[in-house]
Structure formats: structure tokens, C-alpha cells
Amino acid sequence: LLGLTFKPNTDDMRDAPSLAIVQALEDAGATIVAYDPEGMEVAAPMIPSVKMASDAYEAADGADALVLVTEWDIFRALDLKRIAASMAGKALIDLRNIYPLAEAQDAGFTLTRVGGSGAKA
């Protein structure tokens, strides 16, 4: 998971969608690694089973899927090809519609977005 806080530029976890996402993924048997630029210290006690990564690239390393939860500016500038090359799977679930379809596909991802045009590609 990329992004744990309920919005960028804060460490606030109140009503953070990541909490429900983590629970649902764990209920389905997933192992989760997450990165958030500011919220990991606050989030860690709330989701103790989640491994906290040092950056987005470490969080994606070996992952079957990458879920972008919070629209931090740092996530808008990721090297998608580098991330895709390090992952076991190629699923990118962009819950904030940050990445254009062509950019995600060019990096080798199958992109799923929520809402808006082109929800799945």
C-alpha cells in the first residue's frame, strides 16, 4: 500500500481508508507492506501486522499488487518502470486516479482505477 493517512501532508489517521483496506486484504489472506511519507509512526500501532517500508520502492518489491491509497505528491513522481520490474505481479490499483492509463501500461502494469472514466484497463 502506498499512503496510509486519510489525506496527503498530514499524519492524521482518523477515518483513513487504509484501515479498512488493510483489514479487507488481511481477511483475504494478503501480507501487506506499506509506505507513507508522514503517517507510518501513527499508523503502525493501529495496524501492527503491516510491515512498514522505508520508501515506495521497498513497499513494492516482490509485491503481487500495488495499491495507491493516498495522493501524496511523491507518489505522482514514481518511476513506474522501476517499480514494475521489482514486483512479482503487475497489478496497479490507483484509488486516486493519479496515473494515466498509457503511462501505467507503458510501465507494464494492468491498471485498475476507481470512478471516473476508464475505471479498469
pLDDT for 19 equals 97
pLDDT for 101 equals 94
User: Across the 121 residues of the chain, what is the mean pLDDT of every consecutive 10-residue run?
Assistant: 96 95 97 97 97 98 97 96 98 96 97 69 50
7 closest CA partner among 59, 72, 68 = 72
Domain spans in the chain, listed from the N-terminal domain onward: 17-113
pLDDT for 114 equals 84
Count the neighbouring beta carbons within 10 Å of the beta carbon of residue 49.
Answer: 9
pTM value is 0.91
Q: In terms of CATH architecture, what is 17-113?
A: 3-Layer(aba) Sandwich (3.40)
**Is 2 in contact with 59 (CB distance < 8 Å)?**
yes
